[in-house]
Chain A
Amino acid sequence: MRLWGTLTDPILRQNPVTLQILGICSALAVTTTLAAAITMSAALTAVIVAAAGIISLIRRHLPSSIRLIVQIIIVASLVIVVDQFLQAFFFEMSQRLSVFVSLIATNCVVLGRTESFSLHNPPVPAMTDALGNGLGYSLVLVIIGSVRELFGQGTLLGTEVFRTTEQGGWFEPLSLMLLAPSAFFLLGGLVWAIRSWRVEQVEVSEHALAPAEETRG
């Protein structure tokens, strides 16, 4: 039962992207199409689960002064494996994701989970937690990726949903959706929506606002 909580918590209640605002660099960069978002999510989830397992196994033998270096080496080796796998079997997709797969090595979600959870927990809970975080990250990427692809090109996973005006349909693609700012807006809107639904996620404000001026004095 505790494992189930460890798995489901990071999906919404402790989501790495929308609550902790980690890993948004890749969330912005690779979400122009849903296929790219799914590939990136799968790559990150694979890396984070494997890294959490390995680091959790060696956690008692790891001197704390060099633990960060060791973690980065493990994560980077796994990233290279995933990158090679993508290049071997999904070459076009790996071209489109370009540098962002390699950048998983520096993704804050991965390092944050290995550092804060895997170092202090046995392999099974550590990998469950990593899987939950990977799924939470994937959820955000898939949501943003599908909205951007749907409104930017009128397609989902390459199949046509809205017929665009170029092909004689009615839908005029919103080319802003294919640019990076739209991902910021969508992510902001998503964070806003989640925090108005789950009020406990709202941060304590750093400054008190001056009392509102009434329009009738």
Chain B
Amino acid sequence: MIRGIWTRETVAMVFLAAVLPVAVSWIWDEGVLGTGRLVFVLVLAGLWQALFTFFRAQPPSAAGAVSAFAIAVLAPEVGPLQFAIGVSFGFVFGELVFGGWGRSVLSPAVVTIMFLGFGFPVADWPHLPVQIGWATIPAAAILLFFGVLPWRVLVGALVVLIAAGGFNFDLLTSAVAFVLVFLVCDPAVSASTPLGRWLYGALFGALTALFAAFWETAPVQIAVSAALLVSLAAPLLDEMAIALWQAVRRYRHG
């Protein structure tokens, strides 16, 4: 996808710009401790990225910074050694072994967070303050304005979430909003056909509503688990959309 100035790195830069309003409100809330976590993830993820891109002679990508921020915000609270293992695992096995950002099936942030969640089930999940939910609105607006965010995913998810919540915004907690905009709508891991994107967004909404109804746990864990399952389903949804399109064509044109 290279059109004029639109290279992979432009997309990454737009994502970084969209993260800024959320980052400001989050650091305002978390203070020095949160900044420390963020710097820790950024340095570690940067080291792994640098190592792999150096040996593969690839240009580095700024997209890792967005994943690093998502990890700092959403990861369960574990000790520094466990955190380092989780971040290394997430970036290496979630993204870098597949060849870097844009080639992987899963987002490294989702892999890291779920790894820590499964690995340390007793660790506390963070509670996202309400202003982060509001701060994702300008972020989503920036991404939608530049056309980076797949809007069908966003609309599909919102429709299902609002309908499942009985036509109010109860299900749309700040954790769900953050995960939806930055992890589910990441164009590198979301479905890429129009119908596939509708289904992908709707599936995220449905899974979140399902988990919220039957699972007594933190909203962050619900949202990230749903994100993991839908990104695993994304290739299947694309395949279904393409098969349907081919069937329709065959029916129409013989």
Residues of A at the B interface (CB closer than 8 Å) are 172, 174-177, 179, 185, 188-189, 192, 212-217
Q: Which of A172, A179, A215, A216 contacts B120 (CB 8 A)?
A: A172
User: Cβ of B82: which chain A residues have Cβ within 8 Å of it?
Assistant: 172, 174
Q: B residues 1-32 with Cβ under 8 Å of A?
A: 1-2, 7-9
User: Cβ of A185: which chain B residues have Cβ within 8 Å of it?
Assistant: 89, 93
User: Cβ of B119: which chain A residues have Cβ within 8 Å of it?
Assistant: 174-177
Alpha-carbon gap, A213 to B2, bound state (A)? 8
- B254 interfacial contact with A, CB 8 Å: no
Lowest 5 A-B CB distances belong to which pairs?
A217-B2, A176-B119, A215-B7, A174-B119, A176-B118
CB contacts between A and B, total, < 8 Å = 36
- Tally of contact residues, B, Cβ under 8 A: 21
Q: Which of A177, A179, A213, A216 contacts B1 (CB 8 A)?
A: A213
- B204 interfacial contact with A, CB 8 Å: no
How many Å from the CB of A196 to the closest CB on chain B? 10
Known: A213-B2, A217-B7. A175 touches B93 (CB 8 A): no
Known: A174-B85, A192-B97. A215 touches B59 (CB 8 A): yes
12 pairs, CB–CB < 8 Å, chain A vs chain B: A172-B79, A172-B120, A174-B119, A174-B120, A175-B118, A185-B89, A188-B93, A213-B8, A214-B2, A215-B8, A215-B9, A217-B2
Known: A185-B93, A213-B1, A215-B59. A176 touches B115 (CB 8 A): yes
- B121 interfacial contact with A, CB 8 Å: yes
User: Cβ of B8: which chain A residues have Cβ within 8 Å of it?
Assistant: 213, 215
Alpha-carbon gap, A177 to B8, bound state (A)? 36
Contact code string B44-69 (vs A, CB < 8 Å = 1, else 0): 00000000000000110100000000
A175-B119, A213-B1, A213-B2 are known; give 8 further A-B pairs, CB within 8 A: A172-B78, A172-B120, A174-B85, A176-B115, A176-B119, A192-B97, A215-B8, A215-B59
Judge whether B79 and A175 touch: CB under 8 Å: no
Measured CB to CB, the nearest residue on chain B to A152 is B119
User: Cβ of A176: which chain B residues have Cβ within 8 Å of it?
Assistant: 115, 118-119
Alpha-carbon gap, A10 to B169, bound state (A)? 61
How many Å from the CB of A45 to the closest CB on chain B? 31
How many Å from the CB of B93 to the closest CB on chain A? 6
Q: B residues 68-125 with Cβ under 8 Å of A?
A: 78-79, 81-82, 85, 89, 93, 97, 115, 118-121
Alpha-carbon gap, A141 to B15, bound state (A)? 44
Alpha-carbon gap, A65 to B215, bound state (A)? 56
Alpha-carbon gap, A214 to B1, bound state (A)? 10
User: Cβ of B120: which chain A residues have Cβ within 8 Å of it?
Assistant: 172, 174-175
Judge whether A179 and B7 touch: CB under 8 Å: no
How many Å from the CB of B82 to the closest CB on chain A? 6
Alpha-carbon gap, A188 to B78, bound state (A)? 26
Alpha-carbon gap, A179 to B117, bound state (A)? 13
Q: Pick the most buried of A172, A175, A213, A214: most chain B CB atoms within 10 A of its CB.
A: A172
Measured CB to CB, the nearest residue on chain B to A176 is B119
User: Cβ of A189: which chain B residues have Cβ within 8 Å of it?
Assistant: 93
Q: Pick the most buried of B78, B89, B119: most chain A CB atoms within 10 A of its CB.
A: B119
User: Cβ of A215: which chain B residues have Cβ within 8 Å of it?
Assistant: 7-9, 59, 61
Measured CB to CB, the nearest residue on chain A to B92 is A189
User: Cβ of A172: which chain B residues have Cβ within 8 Å of it?
Assistant: 78-79, 81-82, 120
How many Å from the CB of B124 to the closest CB on chain A? 13
Judge whether A175 and B121 touch: CB under 8 Å: yes
Measured CB to CB, the nearest residue on chain A to B102 is A213
How many Å from the CB of A207 to the closest CB on chain B? 14
